[in-house]
Structure 1
Amino acid sequence: MTTDEFVARSHILHRSFSERPAKIVAGDGISLVLESGKKVIDASCGPSVSCLGHSQPEITEAITNHLKNDIAYVYSGSPYTNGATEELADILLSEKPGGLSKAIFVNSGSEATDAALKLAVQYWHERGQPQRTHFIARKQSYHGNTIGALCVSGHESRREFYKDFMSSNVTFVDPCYAYRMKGDDESDEEFAQRLGRQFEDEILRIGPDRVAGFVAETVSGTTLGCLPAVPGYFRAIRDICDRYGVLLILDEIICGMGKTGTMHAWEQEGIRGPDIQTIGKALGAGFVPLSGVLLHQKIFDALSAGSGGLAHGHTFQAHPLACAAAVAAQRIIKRDNLIERTAQMGHKLEALLRKEIGPMALVGDIRGRGLFWAVEFVLDKSLKTAFSPKANFCNQVVKHCLDSGLNILGNLGHTGEYQVDHVLVCPPYTVTESELEEIVSLLMAAIVKTSEPFVKAECTNGVSKVQSDVKVAEIGNMS
């Protein structure tokens, strides 16, 4: 692979070496403005971060006012607090959703995952059960890129270089990936029960008195593509966790804070809520780095009755400026009813995707909630035949979208047993109906262009017949 000349000269170690990155000079609503003057619709909010778009004068004003009138930095390990941090926690937890009553604010989603894992371990120490250090997570999941977060992430290619660092006290069960894993004659209820039995069997195999927690994304993000669980799955998981005293840790770093049409994605699962929850990305809408951990009152009570403090901490934990920006973002979301609007616009986006994208020859599945949607591509709809990773199909779609002025996100490497070629469409909460129509139109054109080397349509008696240009021996007859 040839290294791009600009990347070689730059003092930034860019994440990709082969292509010169386009320089962004400004944001305009939901669009990015490039140095060339070209505007690109950001239909993925980066990795689903910039939920209010890229220009919010109120948040800019809140940041500058805070720097002018308040304290820039307060160390969370000192005997001090600050107004912005306290206010943000009040906004999120004043009504104690699902019994969640306390917050830890850190910088990245990975840090939030690490903090959640350490909090769970400390909880069991405080409860007099220090042997509970084992975590169960799900295959093809992603919870962050620090070593601790990677230990509970089932993302194979991101773990590959660091296998020697991966913890031995984490095991994995299957994800709730109905599109590929549910039997032809299996109902959603039966599928959920089967996965529940697998989870319970793993608890029993490890020993219930050794399992600290179960870690899962409420709606899977970049590894499986905006994948909600089938109805009843999380009710089964919650019941099993309660039966054996296992903490339910839900990762809503990418799917939470309104993105699925409710403040918390778990509110749509018919459960009382998690014991520990991670949040991020949309929390501060991308204007400053911020993530968080929300914990149930019972977690706080155990720490309070035990050591009387949190063993975990960071230098920039609960940074006042980041919290001030998030307060402004959350005020806008509440004032403008943007979560309700996300649910409404989500129905429109779903309808557009299913109508315009769903019938396309190489589109296998469309899934998501709210303004958090994915399109999965396959070589053969009836067989659900996956593309070879070498085809790089979804990232070619991303490239063709970018050429036409649309920014979306493809899958991020080989994640596990199932090759999942997908793109994410998760525009800002402020997106308009006409912008949704443009996004879907540009996406459709990019899929058509990417599909050309793989299929050709022959119209016979008004019926489109798809024939593959790849070897029949490799994928079977697609006609």
Structure 2
Amino acid sequence: MLASHKVNGANGSPDPVLQRSLRFTPPNITASRGLYLTLENGQEVLDATSGAAVACLGHGNERVRDAVVRQMDKLSYCHSFMFATPSGDELGKLVIDSTGGRMSKAVFVSSGSEAVEAAMKLARQYYLEVSPPQPQRIHFIARKGSYHGTTLGGLSLGGHVSRRAPFEPVLMQHISHVEACNEYRGKREGESTEAFVQRLAQELDDEFQRVGPETVCAFVAEPVVGAALGCVPSVPGYFTAMKAVCDKYGALLILDEVMSGMGRTGTLHAWEQENVVPDLQTIGKGLGGGFQPIAGLLVGHRVVDALDKGTGAFVHGHTYQAHPVACAAAAEVQRIVKEQDLMANVTRQGKYLEKLLREGLEDHPNVGNIRGRGLFWGIEFVRDKATKQPFDPKQAIAMRIHETALTPAYSITLYPGSGTADYGRAGDHVLLAPPYTVTAADVEAIADRTVRVVRDVLGGV
């Protein structure tokens, strides 16, 4: 395994940083360029996951660096309660324009978890602002196997059992979960796509009825479930049906596109492929490409109009909201994505990546499913392909593949996940989410290394 037992920091003294694990320390990165990360031992690693599906332009983009420097020369920080900045205004215009005017306003924060918290609060406030007010609306319905962040609100919305378990006593109580739209594991034998969608829509309708439809603020979902389930896309017609249920009971539709949005799945907004427009939308990773911490909440006209006719203010705020340097970086990222027509490249190279992954792995007895959209692909592993039986969680298959992939023989990042089969412990997958700038040669290298490491690891289990 690449990670080493943690005793001391890099200089031999006790490490003052609380890493994600006290048992192991990750290797240090000393340089980066394009798709490659250079480790302190000189090893070059192909970043096939863009970190956590973040570095959409790769590493070391000079245009973004120069935009950051220019902004810092003008202004590094101001409080958004007191001042606005041209970089924030410009980013807001770029993002709202990218929706074709179907969304109305943007709020920029520092993480996806913050964006989800803002969405929950604004959904609640919306019902206090409408006429007549509906203060009884305090409930949210989300989905099993979802991930919406690590703050208590986001974790409460999320449906990943093992992530929630230590904190269950302090999580929000007015949240419930329905089944995910997971065609591989949720669709019954012989069931048509239309029948599958209708069954899920009926389940959502039943949940509204169970909790009291007049109490529900919103239904919250990821258009393509990322880390929790491994790039699981919705089936055609699913979100149209879910939106119809929300409309039936006057609830909002919140789409969490922190991971799947801002171009990752082949359109700038994942909902463009779903034939729906959300009332609230969270964005994050692809917004700023990792050059600065930034995420956002996009607000639909319905919600803005209610605030405008009511108090005229969103009761919310952060110290680093609309941070001028982060906004400048993100604005430059979005200009590059548009000018270089990177959505066309995401679609083109995504289809090529899918083709190579299927050619290399689809016939493997322990590869249960390959799924995704654009440059967002997941590979799910099973012990038995016919029954879809997962591996024993003690075998830690996804983590073994991840750690093996980082060794010099492969030198590639593969993002691991577990709980794929039961929303908590059993089931393994890895994600691939390369930068939007990848070439055909890059895709071939990614597919070759991925196929080799998967076959080598699974050949020993």
Question: The TM-score by the shorter chain falls in which range?
Answer: over 0.9
The one of 204, 218, 231 aligned to 2:236: 231
Amino acid at match of 1:93: I
Q: Does 1:254 align with 2:276?
A: no
Distance 2:393 2:301 in 1: 45
Are the counterparts in 2 of residues 285 and 329 from structure 1 also a CA contact under 8 Å?
Answer: yes
For residue 24 of structure 2, give the secondary structure of its aligned residue in structure 1: coil
1:5-404 equivalences under 5 Å are 5-6=7-8, 9-68=14-73, 70-78=74-82, 80-94=83-97, 96-97=99-100, 99-127=102-130, 128-271=133-276, 273-403=277-407, 404=410
Query: In the alignment, is the contact (CA less than 8 A) between 1:223 and 1:420 conserved in 2?
Result: no
Alignment check: 8 A CA contact 1:143 1:149 kept? yes
Instruction: Look up the equivalent residue of 1:451 and give its one-letter code.
Output: L
Q: TM-score, with normalisation over the residues of structure 1? A: 0.92
CA contact (8 A) 1:277 1:295 kept: yes
CA distance in 2, matches of 1:270, 1:96: 13
Post-superposition offset of 1:418:
7.2
What is the aligned partner in structure 2 of residue 442 from structure 1?
449
Q: How far apart in 2 are the matches of 1:9 and 1:175?
A: 44
Letter paired with 1:49: V
Q: Give distance in 1, aligned partners of 2:98 and 2:321.
A: 23
Q: In 1, Cα distance between the equivalents of 2:111 and 2:363?
A: 38
> Structure 1: which 5+ runs fail to align?
455-479
Matched, 1:410 2:416: yes
Q: 2:98 and 2:451 mapped to 1: Cα distance?
A: 43
Instruction: Letter of the 2:163 partner, please give it.
Output: R
Residue range with higher mean Cα deviation, 370-379 or 432-441: 432-441
Post-superposition offset of 1:95: 5.6
Distance change (3 Å), C-alpha of 1:213 and 1:193: same
Shift of 1:96: 4.6
- Using the TM superposition, give the Cα deviation of residue 294 of structure 1 relative to its aligned residue in structure 2, in angstroms: 0.2
| Structure 1 residue 412 displacement after superposition | 5.4
- Give yes or no for contact 2:419–2:428 (8 Å, CA) kept in 1: no
Q: Which amino acid aligns with 1:146?
A: T
The one-character-per-residue Cα deviations of 1:166-209 (angstroms, maximum 9, x if unpaired) are 11100000001111111111011111110000000100111111
Distance of aligned partners of 1:95 and 1:5 in 2 relative to their CA distance in 1, 3 Å threshold = closer
Runs of 4+ in 1 over 4 A off after TM superposition: 412-415
Alpha-carbon distance, 1:417 to partner: 5.6
Say if 2:79 and 2:320, in contact at 8 Å, map to a contact too: yes
How many residues were matched structurally?
A: 450
| Comparing 137-146 and 414-423, the one that deviates more | 414-423
> Closer, same or farther in 2 for the Cα pair 1:155/1:364, shift >3 Å?
same
Are the aligned partners of 1:98 and 1:274 in contact in 2 as well (CA < 8 Å)? no
Tell me: CA distance 1:103–1:137, structure 2 relative to 1, closer, same or farther (3 Å). same
Whether the aligned pair in 2 keeps the contact of 1:132 and 1:212 (CA below 8 Å) is: yes
1:416, CA displacement in angstroms? 2.1
The CA distance in 1 between the partners of 2:98 and 2:369, in whole Å, is 37
- Between the aligned partners of 1:182 and 1:413, the Cα distance in structure 2 is 18
Q: Hey, what's the Cα distance between the residues in 2 that align with 1:298 and 1:379? A: 48
Structure 2 unaligned blocks of 5 or more? none
The alignment partner of 1:375 has SS state of strand
Cα distance between partner residues in 1 of 2:419 and 2:328: 35
Using the alignment, how far apart are the partners of 1:263 and 1:152 within structure 2?
Answer: 24
State how far apart, in whole Å, the 1-side matches of 2:100 and 2:209 are.
31
Q: CA RMSD in A?
A: 1.5
Amino acid at match of 2:416: G
**Kept after mapping to 2: 8 A contact 1:94/1:101:** no
1:339: how far off? 1.1
Residue 475 of structure 1 aligns with which residue?
Answer: none
CA contact (8 A) 1:400 1:449 kept: no
Residue 422 in 1 paired to residue 429 in 2? yes
1:4 equivalent in structure 2: 6
